[in-house]
Amino acid sequence: MRIFGDQNTFAIQYEFGVNPFNEASLTGETWGKFELFVHGIDVCRFKKGDRVTAFEWNLIFIVEWFSENLKYILSDEPFPLPVKGQHSVELLNNCLLFESDNDDEFDAWFDTKQEWEFKHSWFSNRAGSFLPDWIVNT
């Protein structure tokens, strides 16, 4: 596997493999495993049942998302809505508690939430893959 950085602080590791779906073009050619380490934890691992699994999919989608959104991910811009939370998932979940009888206000709230979510959550470009929204400490 190719690795960039130090797994104990921050690192990206990947390896291309054989596409099990025989897809053609760039999508098919970018099948592989991807690991993103933050302080020694691979934040791309996910738990399904009792099994912890590494991320494996068409890597072009996650690379595109990082390329398009790195400036937002690395910014110090605060969360744009007045909700409290300890992490992004909690902030987004607390946004769902918003109520308003004014349709325009309600739509503006959720447009703001969704715009932030697309820029800060790789779920918007996971292309059917399994990407975690919680870190599994293995």
pLDDT in tens, 81-132: 999 999 888 999 999 999 999 999 999 999 999 999 999 888 778 787 877 6
Give the Cα separation of 58 and 115 in Å (integer): 24
- Of 32, 31, 30, 38, nearest to 12 by C-alpha is 38
Could you give the C-alpha distances from 31 to 27, 28, 100, 121, 122, in angstroms and in order? 7, 6, 44, 21, 17
pTM: 0.78
Dihedral in degrees, nearest 10, Cα atoms 113, 114, 116, 118: 160
Residue boundaries of the structural domains of the chain: 2-125
d(CA 69, CA 83): 23
Give the integer Cα–Cα distance in Å for 108 and 81. 11
> Interior CA angle at 94 toward 42 and 96, to 5°?
110
Which DSSP state fits 87? Answer: S
Q: What is the pLDDT of residues 11-69, one digit of tens each?
A: 999 999 999 999 989 989 999 999 999 999 999 888 888 998 889 999 999 999 999 99
